[in-house]
């Protein structure tokens, strides 16, 4: 059985003052059927990890380099993330694919490094509005999945997040039929590559304008195992109802 996962991606938001949000979430959510993860900026990982010690809340990173160490100014390795106290890393977010020209081959190399360091990877995929309008959504998603996911992917070390680029930060959540179609397709592609047993254990998250008001509807869609949440994860008062909706879906 797949455990539900509510993951918050803080992107380039948050300073020490915002650790109180993490502390509040750590105090208020401890349902064993529903994991909660916050991925703050790298500067906060170590302090956030200290904040959640003794609770079920988990801390992750938003990116890592593909090399174990070396002359890569400004980058951080998977082992450094682990050392700072994080257990997960988001990879291939569309903002990194766009801002840093990350290809699926780059994401694959990073994911391989992350798995080697013992991190759980959250590999992000998603079509642009132009892709969708030319009817290429499943082609794009299929290529990103095949190109970004290492052969070593298993339920315990890999999560896939479907985030339509046009739904991120836009307030335009994808229609349930669109989410169901892509998640069903992802499950089928994973089964084709890894076998049905492995595919049945890999969690599929939806991301893109998830909010308290739409969370329950999204979590009722087949093959949606949770969410990757941006803006609404920055405050406990908006992330907590999203987590509660997932806890209810798990019950
Ligand atoms: O990109 C996202 C999470 O990774 C989604 O962001 P929003 O929830 O702000 O749309």
pTM of the model: 0.98
pLDDT at 142 over 90: yes
Q: Residue 201 in contact with residue 161, Cβ under 8 Å?
A: no
State mean pLDDT over 184-189: 98
pLDDT at 143 over 90: yes
Q: pLDDT tens across 19-73, in order?
A: 999 999 999 988 889 999 999 999 999 999 999 999 999 999 999 999 999 999 9
Query: Ligand 1: does its nearest atom lie under 6 Å from the Cβ of 227?
Result: no
> Do the Cβ atoms of 233 and 9 come closer than 8 Å?
yes
pLDDT of 209 strictly over 90: yes
In this predicted model, what pLDDT tens digit does every residue of 156-173 receive, in sequence order?
999 999 999 999 999 899
Query: 152: CA distance to ligand 1 center in Å?
Result: 27
Q: Of residues 29, 88, 93, 108, which has the active-site annotation?
A: 93
Distance 193 CA to ligand 1 centre (A): 28
Q: Is the pLDDT of residue 83 over 90?
A: yes
HEC profile of the chain: CCCEEEEEECCCCCCHHHHHHHHHHHHHCCCCCEEEEEECCHHHHHHHHHHHCCCCCEEEECCCCCCCCCCCCCCCCHHHHHHHCCCEEEECCHHHHHHCCCCHHHHHHHHHHHHHCCCEEEEEECCCHHHHHCCCHHHHHHHHHHHHCCCCCCCCCEEEEECCHHHCCCCCCCCHHHHHHHHHHHHHHHHHHHCHHHHCCCEEEEECCCCHHHHHHHHCCCCCCEEEECHHHCCHHHHHHHHHHHHHHHC
Give the model's pLDDT for residue 27: 94
Task: Give me the catalytic one of 65, 163, 183, 247.
Answer: 163
Q: Is the CB of 209 under 6 A from ligand 1?
A: yes
Taking residues 201-211, what's their average pLDDT?
Answer: 97
Please indicate whether residue 168, judged by its CB atom, sits closer than 6 Å to ligand 1: yes
Residue 124 is predicted with a pLDDT of 98
pLDDT higher than 90, residue 113: yes
pLDDT of amino acid 88: 98
Tell me if residue 172 is catalytic.
no
Is the pLDDT at 93 greater than 90, yes or no? yes
Q: What is the mean pLDDT of the chain?
A: 97
Mean pLDDT (whole number) for 62-87: 98
Mean pLDDT for the stretch of residues 64-84? 98
Note the pLDDT of residue 14.
98
Separation between Cα atoms, residue 42 and residue 245, nearest integer Å:
28
**218 pocket-lining for ligand 1 (C-beta < 6 Å):** no
For the question of residue 163 being annotated catalytic, the response is yes
Domains of the chain: 4-250 (3.20.20.70)
Taking residues 216-237, report their average pLDDT: 98
Closest ligand 1 atom to residue 229 Cα is 8
**What is the arithmetic mean of pLDDT over 216-235?**
97
**What was the pLDDT predicted at 1?**
78
208 lines ligand 1 (CB under 6 A): yes
Radius of gyration of the chain (CA): 17
């Amino acid at each position: 059985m797949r455990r539900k996962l509510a993951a918050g991606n803080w992107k380039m938001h948050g300073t020490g003052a915002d650790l109180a949000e993490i502390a509040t979430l750590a105090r208020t959510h401890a349902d064993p059927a529903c994991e909660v993860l916050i991925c703050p900026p790298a500067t906060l990982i170590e302090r956030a990890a200290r904040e959640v010690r003794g609770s079920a809340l988990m801390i992750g990173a938003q990116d890592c380099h593909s090399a174990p160490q070396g002359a890569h100014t400004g980058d951080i390795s998977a082992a450094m993330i682990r050392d700072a106290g994080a257990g997960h890393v988001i990879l291939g977010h569309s903002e990194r694919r766009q801002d840093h020209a990350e290809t699926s081959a780059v994401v694959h190399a990073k994911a391989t490094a992350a798995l080697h360091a013992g991190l759980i990877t959250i590999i992000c995929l998603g079509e642009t509005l132009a892709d969708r309008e030319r009817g290429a959504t499943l082609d794009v998603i299929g290529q990103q999945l095949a190109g970004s996911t290492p052969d070593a992917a298993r339920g315990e070390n890999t999560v896939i997040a479907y985030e339509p680029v046009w739904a991120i930060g836009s307030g335009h959540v994808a229609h349930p039929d669109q989410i169901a179609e892509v998640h069903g397709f992802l499950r089928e592609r994973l089964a084709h590559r890894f076998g049905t047993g492995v595919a049945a254990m890999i969690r599929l998250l939806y991301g893109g304008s998830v909010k308290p008001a739409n969370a329950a509807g999204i979590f009722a869609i087949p093959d949606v195992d949770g969410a990757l949440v941006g803006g609404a994860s920055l405050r406990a008062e908006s992330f907590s109802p999203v987590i509660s909706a997932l806890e209810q879906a798990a019950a």
